[in-house]
Amino acid sequence: MASVSFDRISKKFDAVTVVEEFNLEVADGELLVLVGGSGSGKSTILRMVAGLEDVTSGKIRIDQRDVTPLPPRERDVAMVFQDYGLYPHMTVRENLSLGLRLRNVGRQEIERRVAWAAGMLGLEKLLDRRPKQLSGGQRQRVAMGRAMVREPLVFLFDEPLSNLDAGLRAQMRIEIGSLQRRLKTTTIYVTHDQVEAMTLGDRIVVLADGRIQQVGRPIDLYRAPSNRFVAGFIGTPPMNFVEGRVASDDGAQVFTAEAARVRLPEGGIAAGVLAEPVTLGIRPEDLRVDPAAAQGESLLGRVVLVERLGGTSHIHFDVGPHRMMASVARDGMGGVGESITVRVPVDRVHLFGADGRSLLQSSQ
């Protein structure tokens, strides 16, 4: 049980800066997700907490204690690796207990903890097997058990579900989430999958190029992304983007692009930003097919493709040169080639400046 704090952490490999000025406080018992693409620095940050990478500058504190100069074994953290990192020549029981044996924990205590972890993870029957006799999901659980048994201050997860197939991934996601809630151990979880991030995290940190793009609760990142990167990263299917400009028209502000005109809500954006190139963002699930939608609140397009998933349909359509998608319930109307009118709820519209920062956010 401990807080983790990052104080101006940066990491350079030779001349390349991989993590820059990273500041963050992770609360005791929180499940914090670091999410981003490859090269975003998320794994590096995690490994710095573990002590597997040196910190170029800054301090990391676990439970108020400065661990920056300490090697991994003195930090009281436990890590679950992407490829599990199970010791191939040891049985599951030995894998689980090695950490405790190395710390001279008494035999009875070791047995108690191993039994407890095995029970929680459904590993009781597998204790005498070797890793190569286990399935991917079972190895996953052993890796988690190994971490749990140590009762560390912090759990670190490095993309633990990446090597599992989709069905198993969904199931393990739920298990990890409920396990963490029961154990209440501070957890830092790294993934590139935004679904994992949204479902597991108490808070999410979106990273790109070694910099924090935004920190917040999943729902806050969804509703109020602070820049275009976060807006496009969070939420599936991803947000629609249209490049254009904002012009003033009779006191109201209007977003215009080729073949598209959308009225902006009351208040709109700051006057100083008018006439700059901007990007409009609207989520597919916010769009509706509505032939009766008013001008200024709708887009006119031609259907290119309809993906019917049963409960929802993804309608891909072209508005002039812009390719967009609407995600509607059930069987969306519209066959390929037909024209389509899509209503744009103006209070759900996002606007981003030329540099990506948010100018206007959906009010929902």
Partner 1 sequence: MRAEQRSGTLLAAPYVGFLLAFAAYPILFAVILVFLQWDLVTAPAFTGLDNVRLLASDSRFWRAVANTFVFLSIHVPLQIATALALAVALNRRLVLRSFWRAAFFLPVVISGAVVAILWSNLYATDVGLINRLLVRIGLAPVPWLTDPATAMPAIAVMVTWKNVGFYVIIYLAGLQYIPRSCQEAIEIDGANAWQRFRYLTLPSLLPQTILVVTLSTINGFQLFIEPYVMTGGGPLRRTYSVVLYLYTNAFSYQKMGYAATIGVALALIIGGVVFAQRRLIGRAEAL
Residues binding partner 1 (CB under 8 A)? 50-52, 71-73, 77-79, 81-90, 98-99, 102-103, 146, 150
Per DSSP, the three-state class of 119 is: helix
- Nearby residues of 307 by Cβ (< 8 Å), 6 or more positions away: 313, 314, 316
Minimum Å gap between C-beta 152 and partner 1 is 9
Give CA 44 to chain center in angstroms.
Answer: 16
Give CA 197 to chain center in angstroms.
Answer: 3
Minimum Å gap between C-beta 81 and partner 1 is 4
- For partner 1, the closer of residues 103 and 308 by Cβ is 103
* CB distance 274 to 246 below 8 Å: yes
Per DSSP, the three-state class of 39 is: coil
CB half-sphere exposure, 235, CA atoms < 13 A: 22
Minimum Å gap between C-beta 84 and partner 1 is 7
Q: Kind of pairing, strands 31-36 and 203-208?
A: parallel
Minimum Å gap between C-beta 264 and partner 1 is 51
- For partner 1, the closer of residues 77 and 118 by Cβ is 77
* Continuous H helices in 38-165: 42-50, 92-102, 107-121, 136-149
Minimum Å gap between C-beta 100 and partner 1 is 9
- For partner 1, the closer of residues 103 and 181 by Cβ is 103
Distance CA 220, CA 279 (A): 20
Structure tokens at 42: 């998320």
Minimum Å gap between C-beta 321 and partner 1 is 47
Minimum Å gap between C-beta 162 and partner 1 is 13
Distance CA 297, CA 261 (A): 8
Distance CA 199, CA 286 (A): 20
237 preceded by cis ω (within 30°)? yes
- For partner 1, the closer of residues 71 and 335 by Cβ is 71
Which among 158, 193, 198, 223 has a CA at the least distance from the CA of 36?
A: 193
Give CA 124 to chain center in angstroms.
Answer: 32
- For partner 1, the closer of residues 132 and 311 by Cβ is 132
- For partner 1, the closer of residues 95 and 214 by Cβ is 95
Minimum Å gap between C-beta 83 and partner 1 is 5
- For partner 1, the closer of residues 84 and 229 by Cβ is 84
- For partner 1, the closer of residues 114 and 230 by Cβ is 114
Distance CA 333, CA 343 (A): 14
- For partner 1, the closer of residues 8 and 65 by Cβ is 65
Minimum Å gap between C-beta 222 and partner 1 is 33
